[in-house]
Amino acid sequence: MENFDALQTQVDQAQRIVFLTGAGVSTPSGIPDYRSKAGLYTNGHTNRPTEYYLSHDCLVDEPKVFYQFVMKNLYYPDAQPNVIQKKQAAFTNANRAEIVTQNIDNLYEQAGATHLHEFHGNLYRIYCQKCGMEVDYPTYAHSMYHELDGGILRPDVVLYGEGIDQEVAQASVNAVHNADLILIVGTSMRVYPFAGLLDYRQPHVPVVVINQERLDIPGVTAQYQLNATEVFDRLQVKENS
């Protein structure tokens, strides 16, 4: 694999890696990138952009439509973490890295990641909007209503029209600010405010992209146009000395 040794060396020398990740990390687990499937969702009636079905407006105005959409298109309860998530989790467990992800699929949790910042929330944290009680996924899959009080359940994810959780945002900013190596994996860094996290890095900190397609991001110091699954399969996690 071309350039792999240089990448391994760079990773070995870093003490505080930050992985900035997105949908491309979960596609090997069989979870499609909904952003790349624009126009797929017609839902049998009015043709609306995907963004509408994942919006605060849809949740409030047409909660059944919202529920049907997320159940049909976002939940993959049988998906398993792949080698990218597992290896990145191993880096966090060795206190070598933090993960800031746009993914909401719970696969990093399943992989045992620590130092994990889920920028857009997590589909499997589900709560009642009336009483705040959390319920599990099978309960939500069974009904969109909380059986105790009839409140409408929702996943704890950031919908269009909603803001990023301030604690998560601050923790993500801190992680990037403290990083001595930033690895961008499986995201084209086009969605804000996530993409803006890069602005908080220290000057001179290397920003490395691992992506088969070349990305045009300012400040990138190296691009490895390699398959991320192969890279993380091979990448070794050295313990901090």
User: Would you count residue 63 as binding Zn ion (CB under 5 A)?
Assistant: no
Least Cβ distance, residue 108 to Zn ion (angstroms): 28
State yes or no: residue 234 binds Zn ion (CB under 5 A): no
Of the two residues 152 and 237, which places its CB atom closer to Zn ion in the complex? 152
* Active-site residue, 142 included: no
Please list every residue from 107 through 166 that binds Zn ion, using CB under 5 A: 128, 130-131, 146, 149, 151
Exactly one of 45, 115, 117, 120 is catalytic; name it: 120
* Shortest separation between residue 23's beta carbon and Zn ion, angstroms: 32
Question: Smaller CB distance to Zn ion: residue 140 or 232?
Answer: 140
Q: Smallest distance, Å, CB 84 to Zn ion?
A: 37
DSSP secondary structure of the chain: -TTHHHHHHHHHH-SSEEEEE-GGGTGGGT---GGGGTT---TTSS---HHHHTBHHHHHH-HHHHHHHHHHHT--TT----HHHHHHHHHHHTTSEEEEE---SSHHHHTT--SEEETTEEEEEEEETTT--EE-HHHHHH-SB-TTT-PBEEEEE--BTSPPPHHHHHHHHHHHHH-SEEEEES--S-STTGGGGGGGSPTT--EEEE-SS----TT--EEE-S-HHHHHHH---PPP-
63 vs 151, beta carbon nearer Zn ion: 151
What residues make contact with Zn ion under the rule CB under 5 A?
128, 130-131, 146, 149, 151
Hey, which residues are catalytic here? 120
